[in-house]
Amino acid sequence: MTETGLSKDYALKDQLNGSSGSIMDNIAEGFERGGKKEFIQFLYISKASAGEARSQLYRVHDRKYITDEKFNCLFNSILEISKQISKFIDYLKKSEYKGDKFR
């Protein structure tokens, strides 16, 4: 098992980098839109990107680029991020705040 294998698997490396980056990019973009509904929409996209990253992580593990221990650590981290996004969505749905652009 070697992480250097992943560094040579350019397509998978790029997909994993893209989906993991998309998690935070969509949170930032949704926030900057200034409205609660748009923010929630982008949080759902961010959550979907977390699911995509988990799927790609399975391929990284199946190709033996990482150990079981590393896979479990990363998988659980991404799963926790997804749960936090879900809780944030639930909070925003209950909030009366509509967003900065509605001031």
User: What is the model's pLDDT at position 3?
Assistant: 64
Average pLDDT, the chain: 94
Is the confidence at residue 70, as pLDDT, over 90? yes
C-alpha span between 53 and 57 (Å, rounded):
6
Query: For residue 13, what are the CA distances in angstroms to 10, 79, 101?
Result: 5, 19, 38
pTM tops 0.95: no
Query: For residue range 11-57, what is the model confidence (pLDDT) as tens digits?
Result: 999 999 999 999 999 999 999 999 999 999 999 999 999 999 999 99
Exposure string (b/e) for 51-74, b if CB count within 10 Å is 16 or more? ebbbebbeebbeeebbeeeebeeb
